[in-house]
């Protein structure tokens, strides 16, 4: 398979070049300036961070990308879709408030914020994708209205997909609420009664009132559950678990197919920053200590190659001995830790490679890459 080019630079700076200038140089070296932006709308898809989370990318990075789009003649806007779960981004008003509180305002980034699937998450375009699991993806309307699509991703761990990279940012992130529901609905969780302490964390996080506390134990109402998996992530006792062994893999397959729906038939460019690598998604209202040191910034026209390059660079890093989730899991499982995958070690029930393999199969990109350091 032909190698895709992935451009990389670390976070070292000099007196003559700061990180923002370095990011711009990376984007140009990777070929972003070869895209015809003249009088075209450019969607910059990123995660604005859940309120309370501080691991999301700084808005300064978004401004670099937006300014470059404008310099090249385009009309940029920052965008994301509403969430499926309870939180500070479940509708456009709360979502905008959160974006502004976290620094993503027109005044700080130089461009506007548009919540792609509208006020209630129902503004969507049905996009034919002819996948194995998805025939018609439900994508936020503003994402599909854009002439050019750019992903700006904070690379970190994820409790369901292994890590959150470009494919996750694009595929899951651009799905409307109905699209997110479609991607999540393969597996609905259950509660191990012997582990449950009835704390109610699952009930508080659920947007659909699926968890019920009876006699000090939680149960999941499967008729109400949409399979989003948020209860799995918040359970302090690991009592909530998927009921289908392949549910996380199927989620990854659907993310790959949704990514194809977003990226097909128009110019796309992808940027990922490996910094503040928290164990969980920025959708959490908190962020635990990083699992590895900061690595660098990467850019490519190929989101699949970009994710593989990011994962490879992360797995070459030493874990931080800071009692992070990774550190604690490695101490508890020393034999596996000797030759482990950082992201699988953090979330043993995940398999990030399933998303990569399916994305390659769907023609989204290549898992073979040439890493070019600038």
Q: Same structural domain for residues 349 and 365? A: yes
User: Which pLDDT value is given to residue 147?
Assistant: 98
CB 20 within 8 A of CB 126: no
CB 262 within 8 A of CB 139: yes
- Using a 10 angstrom Cβ sphere, with 0-12 exposed, 13-18 middle and 19 or more buried, the burial of residue 229 is buried
Residue 345 backbone dihedrals phi, psi, to 5 degrees: -70, -35
Domain that holds residue 212: 189-242
Q: Same structural domain for residues 138 and 160? A: yes
Q: Same structural domain for residues 270 and 147? A: yes
Q: Of 203, 219, 242, which marks where a domain is finished?
A: 242
Mean pLDDT in order along the chain per 10 residues (374 residues): 94 98 98 98 98 98 98 98 87 96 97 96 94 96 98 97 98 93 81 97 93 97 85 85 77 97 98 98 95 98 98 96 93 78 93 97 98 98
Q: Same structural domain for residues 304 and 252? A: yes
Q: Which residues contact 214 (CB under 8 A, 6 or more apart)?
A: none
Q: Same structural domain for residues 343 and 229? A: no
Q: Which residues contact 19 (CB under 8 A, 6 or more apart)?
A: 11, 13, 297
The CATH code of the domain that includes 69 is 3.40.50
User: Which pLDDT value is given to residue 85?
Assistant: 74
Cα four-point dihedral sign 96, 100, 105, 109: negative
First and final C-alpha spacing in the chain: 24
Q: Same structural domain for residues 201 and 105? A: no
User: Which pLDDT value is given to residue 15?
Assistant: 97
Domain count, the chain: 2
User: Which pLDDT value is given to residue 199?
Assistant: 98
The CATH code of the domain that includes 210 is 3.30.70.20
Q: Of 201, 219, 242, which marks where a domain is finished?
A: 242
Q: Same structural domain for residues 113 and 204? A: no
Q: Same structural domain for residues 227 and 318? A: no
Q: Same structural domain for residues 203 and 349? A: no
CA distance 301 to 320: 31
Q: Same structural domain for residues 215 and 321? A: no
Q: Of 221, 242, 263, which marks where a domain is finished?
A: 242
Q: Which has the closest alpha carbon to 234: 199, 187, 195?
A: 199
Q: Same structural domain for residues 225 and 272? A: no
User: Which pLDDT value is given to residue 249?
Assistant: 94
Q: Same structural domain for residues 237 and 123? A: no
User: Which pLDDT value is given to residue 245?
Assistant: 55
User: Which pLDDT value is given to residue 89?
Assistant: 94
């Amino acid at each position: 398979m032909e190698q895709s080019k992935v451009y990389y630079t670390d976070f070292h700076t000099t007196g003559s070049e700061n990180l923002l200038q370095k990011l711009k140089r990376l984007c140009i070296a990777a070929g972003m300036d070869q895209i015809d932006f003249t009088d075209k709308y450019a969607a910059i898809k990123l995660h604005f961070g859940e309120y309370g989370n501080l691991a999301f990318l700084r808005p300064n990075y978004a401004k670099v990308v937006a300014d470059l789009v404008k310099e090249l003649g385009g009309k940029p806007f920052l965008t994301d879709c509403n969430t499926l779960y309870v939180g500070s981004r479940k509708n456009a008003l709360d979502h905008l408030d959160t974006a502004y509180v976290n620094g993503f305002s027109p005044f700080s980034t130089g461009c506007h914020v548009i919540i792609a699937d509208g006020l209630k998450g129902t503004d969507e375009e049905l996009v034919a994708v002819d996948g194995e699991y998805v025939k018609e993806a439900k994508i936020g309307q503003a994402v599909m209205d854009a002439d050019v699509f750019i992903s700006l991703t904070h690379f970190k761990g994820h409790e369901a997909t292994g890590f959150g990279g470009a494919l996750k940012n694009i595929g899951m992130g651009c799905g409307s609420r109905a699209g997110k529901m479609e991607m999540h609905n393969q597996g609905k969780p259950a509660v191990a009664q012997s582990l449950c302490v009835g704390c109610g964390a699952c009930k508080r996080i659920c947007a659909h009132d699926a968890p019920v506390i009876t006699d000090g134990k939680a149960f999941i109402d499967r008729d109400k559950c949409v399979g989003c998996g948020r209860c799995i992530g918040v359970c302090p006792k690991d009592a909530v678990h998927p009921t289908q062994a392949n549910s996380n893999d199927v989620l990854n397959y659907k993310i790959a197919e949704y990514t194809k729906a977003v990226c097909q038939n128009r110019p796309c460019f992808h940027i990922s920053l490996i910094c503040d690598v928290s164990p969980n998604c920025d959708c959490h209202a908190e962020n635990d200590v990083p699992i590895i040191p900061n690595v660098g910034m990467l850019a490519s026209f190929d989101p699949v190659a970009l994710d593989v390059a990011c994962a490879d660079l992360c797995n070459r890093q030493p874990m931080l001995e800071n009692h992070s989730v990774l550190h604690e899991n490695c101490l508890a499982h020393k034999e596996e830790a000797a030759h482990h995958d950082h992201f699988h070690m953090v979330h043993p029930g995940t398999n990030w490679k399933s998303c990569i393999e399916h994305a390659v199969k769907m023609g989204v990109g290549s898992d073979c890459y040439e890493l070019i350091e600038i």
